Amino acid sequence: MEKNELIINLVHNGEPKPYARQRFTFRGKHSYNPRGDYMLDLKKEFNSQISEEQKNLIKLIINNQDKKDNDYYVEVEGDFYIKIPTADSKKLREKKLSGEYKPTVSRGDVDNYIKLILDVLHDVVYDDDRHVTKIISEKHYAEEPKVELRIKIQYNGVMNNEKEKC
C-alpha cells in the first residue's frame, strides 16, 4: 500500500520556552500549569499557520485511522534558536553564531523544549502521542530567538478518493 506525506512547516518568532511541570498552590489544594498561557498562544499561532486544506486533510487522516491498514505516523523536527547573551564579546558571539558553541547554559533542556511543542501540537496535527514515531530537536544560538518546526505526517494512500472530496 502506498504511503502519502503531508509536510507542515511552522515558525514561532520569539524566545522558546521549556516545558514546566504542573505546580501546586500552598497546601496542594489547586494545581496550575506555569506555561499554560504560552502553550495556548502557540497553539493558536500554529493553527493560523496551517492552511484550511491541510486542516481538512489532517481531520481525514485522524478520522480514517480506525479503518483497516489506515494508521498514520508523525515525525517532528524542531530547531530552537536561543538569543545570544548581550554580555558576550564579539568574538564569542561570532563563534556562537557559526555553531561552534551550542547553548548549554541554564536556558532549558532540549528535551523540555520539544516536550512543550509536542503538547502544543496535540489536537493540532495529531490526536494521540502514540502516532509520533520520530523526533529530532536541536538548540542553536541566534540573533533573534525563534522556533522552527517541520512536521511530516505519513498516511496510507487509501484516503486519496476522500481527500479529493475536500
Binned at pLDDT 50, 70 and 90, residue 71 comes out as: confident
- What mean pLDDT, rounded, does the chain reach? 85
Range 58-83 average pLDDT? 86
Measure the CA–CA gap between 50 and 148, rounded to whole angstroms.
Answer: 14
Domains in the chain (CATH in brackets) are 3-157 (3.30.1330.70)
DSSP-derived 3-state class of residue 152:
strand
**Which DSSP string corresponds to 60-80?**
HHHHTTTSTT--EEEEEEEEE
* Joined grid coordinates for residue 134: 520520530
Q: What is the pLDDT of residue 2?
A: 67
Q: What is the pLDDT of residues 130-149, one digit of tens each?
A: 999 999 999 999 999 999 99
Residues with Cβ < 8 Å from 59, sequence gap 6 or more? none
Query: What cell numbers appear for 53 in the block?
Result: 486544506
Average of per-residue pLDDT across 98-126: 88
Q: Please provide the size of the chain in residues.
A: 166
Confidence label for 21 from pLDDT (cuts 50, 70 and 90)? low
pLDDT for 102: 86
pLDDT(10) > 50: yes
DSSP string, 24-52: E-GGGS-EE-TTHHHHHHHHHHHHHHS-H
Q: What is the pLDDT of residue 163?
A: 46
Give the chain's radius of gyration (CA, Å).
19
User: Rounded to 5 degrees, what are φ and ψ at 78?
Assistant: -125, 125
Cell numbers standing for residue 116: 512543550
pLDDT interval class at 93 (50, 70, 90): very high
Question: pTM here?
Answer: 0.82
Using an 8 Å Cβ cutoff, are 98 and 20 in contact?
Answer: no
Neighbours of 162 (CB within 10 A): 13
Q: What is the pLDDT of residues 31-56, one digit of tens each?
A: 666 677 888 899 999 999 999 999 99
pLDDT for res 38:
87
